[in-house]
Structure 1
Amino acid sequence: MRKLIYGMNLTLDGYISAPGGDLGWSGPSDELFQWWLEKERSISLFLYGRRLWETMSVYWPTRDQQPDATPAEIEFARNWRNTPKVVFSSTIDKVDWNARLFTGDAIAEITRLKAEDGGPMRVGGATLAGAVMRAGLIDEYEIVTHPVLVGGGTPFFTALESRVNLNLVETRTFPGGVVLTRYERSLGC
């Protein structure tokens, strides 16, 4: 069975983007970017909702070809292109960059993928991750909290019908007061 991870940068008040989709608060330090790169290298399948797919597919497919790209960005772009992806959407017709489009029941498909043998999967996109969270499919949360309050926007967490117990497995501080907390779902939950 594959592990399913949900992790993103978020504000101290719990948002992954500020009103209007603003991500200006989330610029990573070199150390944090390198940490994300290492994490992304270990992922065998990315699961994206439409909005995050559109954000990622505008920037990363050619970032390594830009003259100002750092070595870490070059590596991240190549890893992103090479890692298989599933995009869950009923509003787009086509995806590329080593991705396949899935228009059916996302929870059923993710449950099927999770039951397969293979490396870890990462779910991204607030709407898709919220549905997966409510279905109880997330095994690990990687919460990278930036010391900023934005007062609204897209929340990292969704409303749940029941409690989910978690075990803290890692904490780490990055430059600028950014803090990682990583949790695994408690057995029996």
Structure 2
Amino acid sequence: MGKLLYSAAMSLDGFIAGPGGDMGWLAPYTGGSEGEDLAAEVGALLVGRRTFSGDDPYRGTDGEGKAFGGGWDGPQVVLTRQSFPAVPGVTFCSSLAEGVAAARAAAGEKTVNVLGASVGRACADAGLLDEVAVVVMPVLLGGGVRLFERPGLPVRLELLAQEGTSLRYRVLR
């Protein structure tokens, strides 16, 4: 079974989305190689509803509407209590346990990439998260959605790798 990895691009002041979930701030920083290595290890995505149906940092480009701007294609599991029309390659689940199980089954031995602040925090709170990867972008947003939006139990981390402003941590249990 593959690991559960929460990943995000983050402003230097700790925000992964701007006010109202705006992802436009990330557009000047897309297209780099930061996501390519990560995309190669991902077998499935586990995302929240806001991430799934929210703003797209690749808006107006060939990568619009595609994971990693088109650098990855595969199964997605969306955690939501809302109903959505069927989407090819997307499974909708109403509980964290159901969503994690579905994403792990879809990913096989590969990594489940967790996207979205609420889902990342829920996985951490449930003790399910194995790793956290963050790319710190050279911008101060001043507000928006934080990497971990609300305080919870402390989550101890051990640095696994650092390349420039890309940081990868193991979650210690």
TM over 0.5: yes
Q: Is the 8 A contact 2:4 2:114 kept in 1?
A: yes
Q: Equivalents in 2 of 1:59, 1:18: separation in Å?
A: 15
Letter in 2 for 1:145: V
* Residue aligning to 1:15: 15
The letter for the 2-side match of 1:19 is P
Q: Which has the higher helix share?
A: 1
Structure 2, unmatched stretches of 5+, are none
Residue 167 of structure 2 corresponds to residue 181 of structure 1 = yes
Q: Give the corresponding residue for 1:5.
A: 5
Q: Any idea what the Cα deviations from partners look like across 1:110-136, whole Å, max 9, x if unmatched?
A: 157548952110111112222112112
Q: Conserved in 1, the CA contact under 8 Å of 2:43 and 2:108?
A: no
Residues of 1 paired with 2:99 and 2:79: CA distance? 10
1: CA distance between counterparts of 2:84 and 2:121? 23
- Give TM-score scaled by structure 2 length: 0.81
Give the match for residue 63 of structure 1: 62
CA displacement 1:23-80 (0-9 Å, x = unmatched):
23323254xx3220331121001011111111478969x936x9xxxxxx9x952633
Q: Secondary structure, in 3 states, of the residue corresponding to 1:63?
A: coil
Identity in percent: 28
Q: Which amino acid in 1 is paired with 2:72?
A: N
Q: Which residue of 2 aligns with 1:107?
A: 97
Tell me the distance in 1 between the aligned counterparts of 2:169 and 2:23.
Answer: 24
Aligned residue type for 1:110: V
Q: How far 1:20 sits from its partner (Å)?
A: 2.5
- Paired residues of 1:47 and 1:121 also in contact (CA < 8 A): yes
Measure how far apart 1:181 and its partner are.
Answer: 1.1
| Aligned 8 A contact 1:2 1:121 in 2 | yes
Residues paired across the two proteins, number: 167
Q: Distance in 2 between matches of 1:166 and 1:122?
A: 17
Look up the match of 2:160: 169
Q: Which residue of 1 aligns with 2:34?
A: 35
- Distance in structure 2 (CA, Å) of the matches to 1:17 and 1:63: 21
Task: Say which of 59, 67, 72 aligns to 1:79.
Answer: 72
CA distance in 1, matches of 2:108, 2:143: 39
Deviations 1:151-177 (A, max 9, x none): 22111114222x32211111112xxxx
In structure 1, what is the Cα distance between the partners aligned to 2:22 and 2:103? 32
